[in-house]
Amino acid sequence: MLQVNYIRDNREQVLERLAVKNFKQPELVDEIISLDKERRRLQTSSEELQAKANAEAKKIGELMKSGQKDEAEKLKAYTTELREIIKVNTTELTAIEENLQQKIVLLPNLPHSSVPKGLTPEENEIVLENGAKPELPASALPHWELAAKYDLIDFELGVKITGAGFPVYKGKGAKLQRALIAFFLDEAEKAGYNEVIPPLVVNEASGFGTGQLPDKEGQMYFVNQDGLYLIPTAEVPITNLYRDVILKADELPVRNCGYTPCFRREAGSYGAHVRGLNRLHQFDKVEIVQVVNPETSYNVLEDMSAHVQGLLQKLGLPYRVLRLCGGDMGFASALTYDMETWSAAQQRWLEVSSVSNFETFQSNRLKLRFKNAEGKTQLAHTLNGSALALPRIVATLLENNQTENGIKIPEALVPYTRFEWIGESN
């Protein structure tokens, strides 16, 4: 959530940066500034009236002691009038603050100055590409056919049990999932992240704190009877560990990681591009989350991007890094890097990670602060990244490593899978 005083003091810059994100309601900025002006006027008026009422109340006692009862009664009536005005002001102020809050949460985070303009994913900026794209024979199969051939994943059985987008992993397919999760967690631990196992459902306050609410209600599964949401990513519960917390400067940076299943409705998703593991309603992911001093957050973002790239390199997957344009960025993000791997059988890039800096957008909602070196309390910066999301990693591993003898497991994973090949005879 943007800070009101920043909006008020930097109106033109706010409008300019929102335009980069293709925000369609710029008039909200002036509405917020107007409401804030009225809010501050009422606050000042009420404070002045309260000070006057307190001062007059002291005089009443003095008048009563000196026998000036009539004067005291007049003053009593006057202070009663003042308190009635204060009461009316307070009611009006509450309504204005609620209206202000409802409007300000509709504003997305401001994009960083390096974010390119653009409306669609095609306008994202390619930062780098790494690794050679494998050349497969014409007989190469997409991952959903490989999964069926080697009995790794049963999509139809998932439909029977739950519905589309909830696959059943079997045999070496299940072991590959478990191996990847363990590998990603171990690599995060080596990088200094502390592992946590958070809840898989969160309350509304948690969803609001990280910016999923009120922006993404339609994309989350809602447990109506209990008022809880299934998590779309471990970012939500892990970041909310620090809601309403004031950290000490020497406690920063906070580095946490966690594995969870993730749940997304993905309403309206259909077509060939979502076939197989390309888009699911339930999937596994290891998340890395940091809470840092604002002075270091963009260096931290680069470090987190490098960590994710290191995972892809160890898996031997060709990848590219994109800086998302304004129109393709998330609601809460100030700057996002997407990592995509090359699917050799599908001949397309598949997103496998997003790494984002939210600056103070989440921490303002969370009331997540720290005391700086001068002892002053200020908002921290929060960042998170997928390290990594499994479905499309599995898809590209299966497709890119297929041979006539089966599917070769990357060397870095063998200690975790305890097998080197997936094949009909091994």
According to the annotation, is 359 in a ligand binding site? no
According to the annotation, is 353 in a ligand binding site? yes
Angle at CA of residue 219, ends 216 and 220, nearest 5°: 95
DSSP state of 260: E
According to the annotation, is 354 in a ligand binding site? yes
According to the annotation, is 411 in a ligand binding site? no
According to the annotation, is 266 in a ligand binding site? yes
DSSP state of 257: E
Q: How far apart are the first and last CA of the chain?
A: 54
According to the annotation, is 320 in a ligand binding site? no
168-169 and 153-154 strand pairing:
antiparallel
According to the annotation, is 114 in a ligand binding site? no
d(CA 228, CA 48): 43
Nearest Cα neighbor of 176 from 150, 145, 209 is 150
According to the annotation, is 420 in a ligand binding site? no
Q: How far is CA 157 from CA 161, 167, 170, in A?
A: 6, 7, 11
Rounded to 5 degrees, φ, ψ at 405 are: -95, 0
d(CA 19, CA 348): 30
Beta strand residue intervals within 185-268, DSSP E: 194-195, 201-202, 222-223, 228-230, 246-248, 254-263
d(CA 257, CA 384): 9
d(CA 408, CA 176): 12
According to the annotation, is 351 in a ligand binding site? yes
According to the annotation, is 47 in a ligand binding site? no
d(CA 191, CA 189): 5
List residues forming the annotated binding site for ATP: 264-266, 351-354
List residues forming the annotated binding site for L-serine: 233, 264, 287, 384
List residues forming the annotated binding site: 233, 264-266, 287, 351-354, 384
